[in-house]
Amino acid sequence: MGVIEKGRISGRFSGPPSISWTRPCSYWDVVVAHLPLALITGTALLLPYLISNDTLPLMKCTFLSVTGYPCPFCGFTRSFWTMARGDWGLAFYNAPLSSVVYGATVLLFLWNVIALVAGVRLISGLSLLMRSRHAGWLVAAMVLLNWIYRLSLGLK
C-alpha cells in the first residue's frame, strides 16, 4: 500500500529482502538513480553482439605473462561473450563464476529499466546486505574457488 509523504508516493513489499519504492516529484530523480546502471549493464549485455570474441581489443593478462598462471579473473570476458551468444556450457566450463556475474548483470539491467519505465525509485534490502562484511568475504571466497577450479583444470 502506498503512502504520500511531502509530495512523494512510497510503498514497501513485505518479505525478505524487502523492496521499497518511491515516486519522486520529478522524473529526473528516477533518471539520476537508475539510468547510469541501466546504460552500463545494457552496454555490457549488448557488446558481445557487436564485437566478436576473436576481435576483442584486450591486452594479454599481465599476471599470466609474468607467472604462466591465469589470474583470478582470466576467462571472465570470454565466458561472458560465450554466454551472450548462447553457449552456456562452454562458458560455465571456462569460468563458473562468470555465469553468476552474467545473471547478476541481466537482473541489474532489468531492475533499472523497470524503474525507469515505471517512473519510480526502487530500493532493495539486498543493497544493505551487499554492503556487509560477510558479503565481501563471500565474494572473495567465490573468486578464490573459481581460480582454484581454473588452475586445477590447467585453463589459461
Q: Which three cell numbers stand for residue 144?
A: 578464490
Global pTM value: 0.79
In single-letter form, the type of residue at position 45 comes to L
Residues 41-59 pLDDT 10s: 999 999 998 988 778 777 7
Strand order of the sheet with strand 19-23? 3-5, 8-13, 19-23, 121-124
Cβ contacts of 1 within 8 Å, gap of 6 or more: 11
**Domain spans of the chain?**
3-153
Answer yes or no: is pLDDT of 5 > 80. no
Answer yes or no: is pLDDT of 34 > 80. yes
pLDDT tier, 25 (very low <50, low <70, confident <90, very high otherwise): confident
- Give the percent of the chain with pLDDT over 90: 42
> Cβ(24)–Cβ(121) under 8 Å?
yes
